[in-house]
Structure 1
């Protein structure tokens, strides 16, 4: 075996390993690891905030979190604040007992948006239910709505780039082998 072929035999696997290892972080988008209240939980006392913990640090400035309850009312009392991998959203006093949904959209370290929902059930009316039942002289406002979250992260897959790199490297090896025979 010629020295050129030996070098190629050693270099090709090393280059392929570097390509695959370098692409691995791009494959891993952030994921929701836990929430408070937990997904699908039954909550007896209305929470005053919602927390979402992700698999990587999240920029609060790029995050959107809403909490909707029965009737579509949004109970988020302000924007999400971040502490590393955890986002926290303050809530207005929750209203009627029933199904509530936390909807989030965050941006991964690789720039891809990730969205999802966390449903929970309030089993007894929150403090906002009494305020809603009492007549008020203040004008009522229409509930705020947010766009429906999409599970599509909008990013291009990495595997075509790896396939192109393998083809280019393979073509280089074939060219070098032909050249060494000539």
Structure 2
């Protein structure tokens, strides 16, 4: 009886969804660019949740912020417009997105501007917060079965197993007498 219940529970279990994985970016990791791009575009392997919490920040070699507008989500593509870039050097794209399974995913991508541009960075107040400065969105929707369900199921199965064992043991004693 307990074995059948355990098999039923295991058969009903669904695998947990995996976090989104970055498939490509424009600019690409390690790119050497003579001219700055007008947008940052990130492509993922799964749809990104458009919950208004997705962020992209681009920090220049001078510490200036270069994002020039809101982050846009279109299925599995997340993008944001850039100001014309300024000083030559390494730029860091930091992003934090809400994965299809409800968990945040963050990463940094580095590229180099080989020739100085004419742009000036935006003010810190006008740009998005960097991914490290933002709290993770609260979400329990992992797509899998919550741990507490497994704990309750284990307690119930243990109780059923003990009850069956006690009844079988007591009925066996009655037959011997």
Of residues 47, 57, 73 in structure 2, which corresponds to 1:66?
57
Distance 1:175 1:141 in 2: 68
Distance 1:43 1:109 in 2: 32
Structure 1 residues 141 and 67, CA gap change in structure 2 (3 angstroms): closer
Partner of 1:30: 20
Partner of 2:42: 52
* Segments ≥4 residues shifted beyond 6 Å: 154-159
Structure 1-normalised TM-score? 0.71
Distance 2:100 2:152 in 1: 24
Instruction: Name structure 1 gaps, 5 residues minimum.
Output: 133-139
Alignment of 1:6-17 (within 5 A): 8-17=2-11
Structure 2-normalised TM-score? 0.73
Shift of 1:11: 3.6
Of residues 164, 167, 180 in structure 1, which corresponds to 2:151?
164
- Which deviations, in whole Å up to 9, do the C-alpha atoms of 1:71-118 show, x marking residues without a partner? 111111101112101011111111111110111111123332222211
Secondary structure of 2:16 counterpart:
helix
Structure 1 residues 109 and 39, CA gap change in structure 2 (3 angstroms): same
Partner of 1:41: 31
Partner of 2:175: none
Structure 1 residues 151 and 33, CA gap change in structure 2 (3 angstroms): farther
Distance 2:60 2:11 in 1: 49
Structure 1 residues 169 and 119, CA gap change in structure 2 (3 angstroms): farther
Partner of 1:136: none
Structure 1 residues 167 and 46, CA gap change in structure 2 (3 angstroms): same
Secondary structure of 1:111 counterpart:
coil
Alignment of 1:56-135 (within 5 A): 56-58=46-48, 59=50, 61-128=52-119
Report whether the alignment pairs 1:178 with 2:165.
yes
Distance 1:165 1:150 in 2: 37
Which structure: greater helix fraction? 1
Secondary structure of 2:62 counterpart:
helix
